[in-house]
C-alpha cells in the first residue's frame, strides 16, 4: 500500500504524481486515499488560499432534522409542523416531531461526460474528479457524515444513496469506478440540467453538495436546477479544466488523439489563440461569479495543479 508521510520533505505534488494513474481508475487506489485523507487532515489549513468563496460556510444549514413521529397537537407546538393529512383523517390536530440529524449527508456530483475524458497534463479531467471525490468522501466519513452521490456519464446517472461509515464510502467508490468509461459523445441522452434536476430531488435540506465538473454546457436551465440546490444546502464547486483548454500552445502543428481518432492542432494564428483564451476566461468568470454568493464555495483545479494541496484546503468545508 502506498504511504504518504506529511512530515517528510517530499512535496504533496510529487506524491500526487506517484499516486494518481492519470488515465485509469482502480478501486484499490481510491481505497488507499483514506490514509492520505487522514494524513492531510493532520495538517489542514486554518484558512484556505487560492479559492473563491462567499461568506463563511455554516456547519448547521437548514433544519438538520429527521422525521420521528406524529402525535396530537399540544399548546406551544409549532403550527407549521401540523400534519394536515392526519388531522383531517382523525378530526384532531396532530403535529410532526423531528429529532436532530447528527450525520449530515454529503452528496457528490461527479461529471464523467465525454468532455471530461480529456487531459494533456498529469491526468484526465475525469480521473482527477474521481480521485478528488474519493479523498473528500473519506474526509466526510471521518467527520461522521453519510456519503452518497451521482456519477453522470452523459447517458444516465448512477446514483448512490447516502450511507454512514466505511460502507457508504465504499458504495460510492464502486460507482466511481463502474461509471468511469469513455462514452460516445453522439450517444449522450441526458442533459446536464436534467441530471441536476434529478439530484435536487435526492438531496435533503441541510446537506453538503460537492460538484466536480468542467461545467461545460452551463446554461439557463442548468442554473435554474442549481438554484434549487443552493437555496437550502451548502454547495462546493470544483471547476476542473485542462491547460490546453485555458490557452493554446506556442505557434506550431500538434498531433492530438483519442483512441483511434487523430487530429492536427494548428496554433499558428495569434488571433485564434487570443479568442481561445478569452472564451475560457469568460466561462471561468461565469462560474466563479455564480458560485460566489453566500453559502457557496468555489475552487479552480487544473490538470497540472497539485490536487492534493487543493483537496487539503477543501477538507474542512466537506466535513
pLDDT of residue 68: 65
Q: What is the 3-state secondary structure (H, E, C) of the chain?
A: CCCCCCCCCCCHHHHHHHHCCCCCCCHHHHHHHHHHHHHHHCCCCCCCCCCEECCCCCCCCCCCEEEEEEEECCCCCCHHHECHHHHHHHCCCEEEEEEECCCCEEEEEEECCHHHCCCCCCCCHHHHHHHHHHHHHHHHHHCCCEEEEEEECCCCEEEEEEECHHHHHHHHHHHHHHHCCCCCHHHCCCCHHHHHHHHHHHCCCCCEEEEEECCCCCCHHHHHHHHHHHHHCEEEEEEEECHHHHCCCCCCEEEEEECCEEEEEECCCHHHHHHHHHHHHHHHHHHHHHCCCCCEEEEEEECCCCHHHHHHHHHHHHC
Q: What are phi and psi of 306, to 5 degrees?
A: -80, 90
pLDDT of residue 222: 92
pLDDT in tens, the chain (319 residues): 233 333 333 444 454 555 577 888 999 999 999 999 999 888 655 444 444 444 334 333 334 455 667 888 888 777 888 999 999 999 999 988 765 555 689 999 999 998 999 998 889 999 999 999 999 999 999 999 999 999 999 888 999 999 999 999 999 999 999 999 755 555 567 888 899 988 988 898 889 999 999 999 999 999 998 988 888 899 999 999 999 998 887 777 767 666 566 677 777 778 888 898 899 999 999 999 998 776 788 999 999 999 999 999 899 888 6
Residue closest to 299 by CA, chosen among 191, 215, 230, 180: 215
Exposure letters 266-299 (e unless 16+ CB within 10 A, then b): ebeeeeebeebeeebeebbeebeebbeeebbbbb
- The answer to pTM > 0.85 is no
Q: Does the CA dihedral 226-123-17-288 come out positive or negative? A: negative
pLDDT of residue 6: 35
pLDDT of residue 130: 97
Distance CA 244, CA 24 (A): 20
What is the residue extent of each domain of the chain? 12-50+102-318, 69-99
Q: In the block, which residue shows the cell 494541496? A: 309
Collect contacts of 290-295 with beta carbons under 8 A, ≥24 apart.
290/218, 290/223, 290/226, 291/52, 291/54, 291/235, 291/237, 292/52, 292/53, 292/54, 293/54, 293/230, 294/54, 294/55, 295/54, 295/55, 295/57, 295/58, 295/61, 295/230, 295/233, 295/234, 295/235
Q: What is the dihedral of CA 33, 149, 52, 218, to 10 degrees?
A: 130
Helix axis angle, 165-179 to 27-41, nearest 10°: 130
Q: In the block, which residue shows the cell 477543501? A: 314
pLDDT of residue 299: 94
Q: Which CATH architecture describes the domain 12-50+102-318?
A: 3-Layer(aba) Sandwich (3.40)
Amino acid at each position: 500500500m502506498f504511504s504518504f508521510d506529511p512530515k517528510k520533505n517530499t512535496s504533496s505534488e510529487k506524491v500526487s504524481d506517484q499516486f494518481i494513474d492519470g488515465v485509469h481508475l482502480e478501486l484499490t487506489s481510491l481505497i488507499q486515499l483514506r490514509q492520505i485523507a487522514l494524513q492531510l487532515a493532520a495538517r489542514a489549513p486554518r484558512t484556505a488560499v487560492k479559492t473563491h468563496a462567499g461568506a463563511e460556510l455554516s456547519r448547521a444549514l437548514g433544519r438538520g432534522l429527521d422525521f420521528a413521529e406524529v402525535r396530537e397537537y399540544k399548546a406551544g407546538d409549532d403550527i407549521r409542523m401540523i400534519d394536515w393529512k392526519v388531522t383531517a383523517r382523525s378530526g384532531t390536530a396532530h403535529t410532526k416531531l423531528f429529532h436532530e440529524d447528527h450525520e449530515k449527508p454529503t452528496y457528490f456530483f461527479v461529471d464523467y461526460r465525454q468532455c471530461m475524458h480529456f487531459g494533456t497534463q498529469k491526468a484526465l479531467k475525469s480521473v482527477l474528479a474521481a480521485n478528488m471525490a474519493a479523498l473528500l468522501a473519506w474526509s466526510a466519513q471521518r467527520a461522521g457524515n453519510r456519503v452518497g452521490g451521482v456519477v453522470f456519464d452523459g447517458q444516465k446517472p448512477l446514483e448512490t444513496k447516502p450511507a454512514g461509515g466505511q460502507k457508504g464510502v465504499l458504495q460510492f467508490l464502486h460507482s466511481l469506478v463502474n461509471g468511469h468509461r469513455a462514452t460516445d459523445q453522439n450517444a449522450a441522452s441526458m442533459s446536464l440540467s436534467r441530471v441536476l434536476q434529478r439530484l435536487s430531488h435526492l438531496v435533503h435540506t441541510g446537506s453538503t453538495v460537492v460538484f466536480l465538473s468542467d461545467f461545460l454546457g452551463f446554461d439557463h436551465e442548468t442554473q435554474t436546477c442549481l438554484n434549487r440546490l443552493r437555496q437550502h444546502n451548502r454547495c462546493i464547486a470544483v471547476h476542473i479544466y485542462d491547460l490546453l483548454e485555458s490557452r493554446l500552445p506556442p505557434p506550431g502543428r500538434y498531433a492530438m488523439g483519442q483512441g483511434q481518432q487523430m487530429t492536427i492542432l494548428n496554433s499558428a494564428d495569434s488571433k485564434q489563440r487570443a479568442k481561445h483564451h478569452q472564451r475560457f476566461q469568460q466561462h471561468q468568470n461565469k462560474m466563479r461569479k455564480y458560485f460566489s454568493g453566500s453559502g457557496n464555495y468555489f475552487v479552480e483545479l487544473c490538470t497540472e495543479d497539485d490536487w492534493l494541496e487543493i483537496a487539503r484546503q477543501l477538507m474542512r468545508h466537506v466535513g
